[in-house]
Amino acid sequence: MGRKAFSGKGGIDEIGKKIGNLGLLRAMGAYNWALKPCGSVFPYFCIVTIHDKGYVRARISFLEGWQTMHDYVRMRFEPDSGYYVSQTELPQFEVAYLRTGKIVATRHDPGCLPWYLTPRQEGLVRRMLWETYGVMLRIENDRSLVLKHADERALFARVETSPGVWRDAPMTIPEPPPYEERVPVPQDLLKRAQSLPVDKDWKVAVDLRYLPDRLTEDAPPRVCYAIRAVDLAEKTRLIDDGAFVDMLNGGLKTIWLDAPVRILERLVERGRLPGEIRVVSARLFRFLRPLFLELPVKLSKRKSIPVLEEHFRA
C-alpha cells in the first residue's frame, strides 16, 4: 500500500499500533458499537475478534450496513444458518494484527479474496479506526459506555455530522428482514431422478467449499465455490463442479440454493442414484434435505469423511 493514509503520520498503521499498545483488544471483544462516517451510505459496526491460533492474532472488523450486521448476529447464534460460512465472507473493512507484528488493512466482499484498499477506502478506514481508538480509550474508563442505549434497542454510535466532526448518538436497530430458504426444485429433473434405479450399496460423500487457489482475474479476484463428490467404495471423484459468486445474480445465496440441483443433475447424468449421501457440513445438509426428501436416498451427516478431505486437498 505505502500511501500516506496507511503508513504516514496519523495513518492506519500508526493508529493501529496505538490501539494495539492499549492492550485492550481482548477485552473489546465483548463490545460492539457503530460508526457513521459523513458521506457514507452505510453505517459500519465495529467487531473485535481474537484468535489464539493462526497467523492473525486479532482483527478489527468494520461490518458494512445493517444487513451485514443482521447476518453476523445470525452467524453467531446459528452458525450453520445463512449463506456465510466464515465471518471473513461478510462485506467489511478489516484491520488485522499479525503475529509477526505487522498490521494489514483489507477490503472483504462475499466470494472474493480479501483485497488491497483503494486510496478512498484507506481514508475511510483511517477515519473509522481513529474513532475506534477514541471509543476504546473511553471504554477503558467506562465499560458501560456502549451499553447506554441497550434499553432503547439502539447501539452506541459515533456519527460524523460534517468532515472531521463526530458526536455520540444512539443508532436505532431496525428489525431484520424475514429470513427464509427456498431451495428450487425443478419438477422435470425431480421426475427424471424418481424414475432412476437406486443402488442401495452405492454410497457417496459430497461437500461445497470455496477454493482460494482457483481464482478469476478480476480485482479483487473471485474464489471458486466447488462441489466435490466422492464414491466412498472406489474413492474416486464423481463430481467436480465449480461456480463463482455473481453479485448481480444473488451472490452467495445463489451458490448455496443452486447446489442441491447441481448435485442431483450430476447424479442423474450417471443413470442411477446412490443409496446414501454423506455430508460433513450441517449447512449443506440443510440445503440438500428438501430435495432429497422427495427421493429414496438416505441423507446423513458425519463428523468427518477423510476420503472427501483428500479430494479437496488434491
pLDDT digits (tens, 9 = 90+) for 86-143: 999 999 999 999 999 999 999 999 999 999 999 999 999 999 999 999 999 999 999 9
Confidence of residue 3 (pLDDT cuts 50, 70, 90): very low
Average pLDDT, the chain: 94
| Spatial CB neighbours of 63, under 8 Å, sequence gap ≥ 6 | 44, 45, 47, 69, 72, 90, 91, 92
Instruction: Give the pLDDT of residue 8.
Output: 63
pLDDT in tens, 155-171: 999 999 999 999 999 99
pTM of the model: 0.90
Confidence of residue 4 (pLDDT cuts 50, 70, 90): very low
Instruction: Spell out the domains of the chain, with CATH numbers in brackets.
Output: 4-172 (no CATH), 187-313 (3.30.420)
Q: Which of 133, 114, 107 is nearest to 33 (CA)?
A: 133
Which of residues 1 and 58 earns the better pLDDT score? 58
Identify whether the C-beta of residue 88 lies closer than 8 Å to the C-beta of residue 111: no
- N-terminal to C-terminal alpha carbon distance within the chain: 33
pLDDT in tens, 163-215: 999 999 999 999 998 888 888 889 999 999 999 999 999 999 999 999 988 99
pLDDT in tens, 50-64: 999 999 999 999 999
DSSP 255-274: HHHHHHHHHHHHHHHTTSEE
